[in-house]
Amino acid sequence: MSNRTMVAGNWKMNTTPAEGAALAQAVIEHVGTPGTKVVFGVPAIQLTQIQALTSKAPGFYVAAQNMHQEDSGAYTGEISARMLAAAGVDYVILGHSERRDYFGEDDTLIHAKILKALAAGVQPIYCCGEKLNIRQAGNHEMVVGKQIEQALFTLEAEQMRQVVIAYEPVWAIGTGVTASPEQAQDMHAFIRRMIHNYFGQDVAESTTILYGGSVKPDNAEELFGMPDVDGGLVGGASLDAAGFAAIVKAL
Ligand code: PGA
């Protein structure tokens, strides 16, 4: 059975602080009190400002889009998990395909970041997903399986309970091409089986597995209706308040 627990928006490098505040406020007004968790993944410069909004709006949370794997030090331009936690940030998106592709992040690095986030009390939203050529060659389960294994399979069960997984086929991100509900379901079930085999049934059943990749108001309901799809990680469509609210309501 689906957990139907979360819709997270990933604003990426969009919105000024004023635009971001207006967007979050408009979503909160459109949605009212959500039946599930609603997360705003915002640019770092807006984290404290959006945190101030979400802390007064039950059901709403704020996420960073990245963080560094060290606690502190000479890492110009970087932000640590400790800083996020101290600022009241609830979640951090880690391992997004754009971080992997444009910033050379691999699962060893992402694993280190996951450990730091957990130690600081910030919940990771761990992104995995295959590229188009991998899907076409039929190797998607092998590749995603390896990502899950390398990033998550040294955690304790109690740590794993804090992790949200987002399956985002790279060929569906920002392309307008969405995975079919069946493709999403098949991969989510595969991931949940892996979690089951390693961490046990209890952890597997309570793990939130989000689908990401061109989620829109008109396909959200169908995707969220699949038994192992527990919600969504939404990029482009999270920048429109009414559209994002409609996606939240589809869950
Ligand atoms: P998209 O992005 O919804 O624009 O495809 C999803 C994501 O990158 O998290």
- Each of the 251 residues of the chain gets a pLDDT tens digit; together they read 568 899 999 999 999 999 999 999 999 999 999 999 999 999 999 999 999 999 999 999 999 999 999 999 999 999 999 999 999 999 999 999 999 999 999 999 999 999 999 999 999 999 999 999 999 999 999 999 999 999 999 999 999 999 999 999 999 988 888 889 999 999 999 999 999 999 999 999 999 999 999 999 999 999 999 999 999 999 999 999 999 999 999 99
Ligand 1 mean position to 235 CA, how many Å? 3
Catalytic residue among 96, 111, 140, 188: 96
Burial of 189 (0-12, 13-18, 19+ CB in 10 A): middle
Of 98, 105, 130, 168, the active-site residue reads 168
Residues 6+ apart with CB under 8 A from 170: 97, 101, 129, 130, 131, 132, 213
- The finding on whether 178 has its CB within 6 A of some atom of ligand 1 is no
Decide: 8 in ligand 1 pocket, CB within 6 A. no
Question: What is the distance between the alpha carbons of residues 44 and 51, in angstroms, rounded to a whole number?
Answer: 11
Token output for 139: 């190797």
CA distance 40 to 93: 11
Among protein residues, the one with the nearest Cα to ligand 1's atom 6 is: 235
- What pLDDT was estimated at residue 2? 65
Mark whether 156 is an active-site residue: no
Ligand 1: which atom is nearest the Cα of residue 97?
Answer: 8
**The two structure tokens encoding residue 130:** 């295959």
* Cα dihedral: 190, 5, 170, 154 (round 10): -60
The rounded distance, in Å, linking the Cα atoms of 10 and 40 is: 7
Half-sphere exposure of 132 (CA within 13 A, CB side): 7
The dihedral region occupied by 152, where left means phi > 0, alpha psi between -120 and 50, and beta the remainder, is alpha
Predicted TM-score (pTM) of the model is 0.97
Tokens 């450990």 identify what position? 115
| Ligand 1 atom with minimal separation from the 127 CA | 9
> Which of 10, 11, 65, 92 has most ligand 1 atoms within 8 Å of CB, for mutation?
10
The residue written with tokens 């509900």 in the block is 181
Q: How far is CA 202 from CA 205, 206, 210, 234, in A?
A: 5, 6, 18, 27
Angle at Cα 91 formed by Cα 197 and Cα 204, nearest 5°?
15
Task: Please state, in angstroms and rounded to a whole number, the distance separating the CA atoms of residues 110 and 125.
Answer: 11
Question: Which pLDDT score, from 0 to 100, does residue 177 have?
Answer: 85
